[in-house]
Chain A
């Protein structure tokens, strides 16, 4: 049991593993923090569901170094990201930008949930109103027929 608990704890500890090598880390902690933040948002092109901050791929390493070199040279976070996007396209962004061509992506889920809610509301409204409404009164012809039936005529 103790072993199992220990193994589980170790598993959890491994989640936070990062790929940044000590020799890549910048001396300036502020720049380093910005580099880490940028790296977390950039996709590793080799192992596509990892960020370059997490990936051990050599291309990710070179991209991490590039990010840091650009920050040291005085680029803003936006400029660094723009440069990488200009080389690899929007795919490199783990979080897609809010642009005219990504509207469907960002607003689609909201729209679908909205439509679903609307459908549910309409469904219940109809059911309650149908239950509440009294049945339509009989027409003259119907009354006549009813009377005839009650009197035993056919």
Chain B
């Protein structure tokens, strides 16, 4: 083929390249945002306890051992789906699981929810005004962070945890962090 003929094909080639990019882009979920806080020290925060508890949750509580921080609310449907798995983490004593009770309309809502379904959390902080949520860059619930012993955020999982993601990604990360 001559050079000139090739030039006529150029727009088609360009279109196909762009088309492939668009096709890949369409398969991605725009709601899944990467966290910019990975490998950064946890933000400073100090949250009051929820009703019925004496202790809240602060950034100091997250230092010293590998732990999970789970943002949840009684208004959140996906949190209810995730809940049985959180209970399993607690029952099998896999890793300390802390909760941030995010944006309850009524301060009784969170505690009531835990009474009804069971309380999987070691410590819980109350976050009615999204102070900790914004500091952690949370944009939906549930979101779970893996914090290492030095208080550095190592992983963020958005959405309800289940056995599959636990076995495939979260538990291996926790075990790896424990070796350090």
Contact = CB atoms under 8 A, between A and B. Distances in A.
Interface in A88-138: 88-89, 91
Contact of B33 (A58, A59, A84, A91): A91
Contacts of B135: 87
A129 to B, nearest CB: 16
Interface in B99-146: 103, 129-130, 133-137, 139-140
A89 B134 contact: no
B134 A46 contact: no
Contacts of B139: 45-46, 59, 88
Contacts of B130: 58-59, 62-63, 66
B140 A89 contact: no
A63 B103 CA distance: 13
A139 interface: no
A86 B130 CA distance: 16
Contacts of B103: 58, 62
B30 A88 contact: no
Number of chain B interface residues as a range: 10 to 19
B129 A89 contact: no
The dominant DSSP class at the B interface is loop
B89 interface: no
B30 A62 contact: no
Given A45-B33, A48-B30, A88 B137 contact: yes
A149 B45 CA distance: 100
A65 interface: yes
Nearest to B140: A46
B173 interface: no
B30 A86 contact: no
Interface residues of A, number: 15
B34 A89 contact: yes
A89 B133 contact: no
Contacts of A87: 36-37, 43, 134-137
Nearest to A46: B139
Nearest to B128: A62
A84 B34 CA distance: 15
B41 to A, nearest CB: 12
Interface string A51-69: 0000000110011011000
Contacts of A65: 129
Given A48-B31, A66-B134, A89-B33, 15 more contacts: A45-B140, A46-B140, A48-B30, A58-B130, A59-B133, A59-B139, A62-B129, A62-B133, A62-B134, A66-B130, A86-B36, A87-B135, A88-B33, A88-B137, A89-B36
Interface of A: 45-46, 48, 58-59, 62-63, 65-66, 84, 86-89, 91
Closest 8 CB pairs of A and B: A45-B139, A62-B130, A89-B36, A87-B137, A88-B137, A87-B134, A66-B134, A91-B33
5 contacts: A62-B134, A66-B130, A87-B37, A87-B135, A89-B35
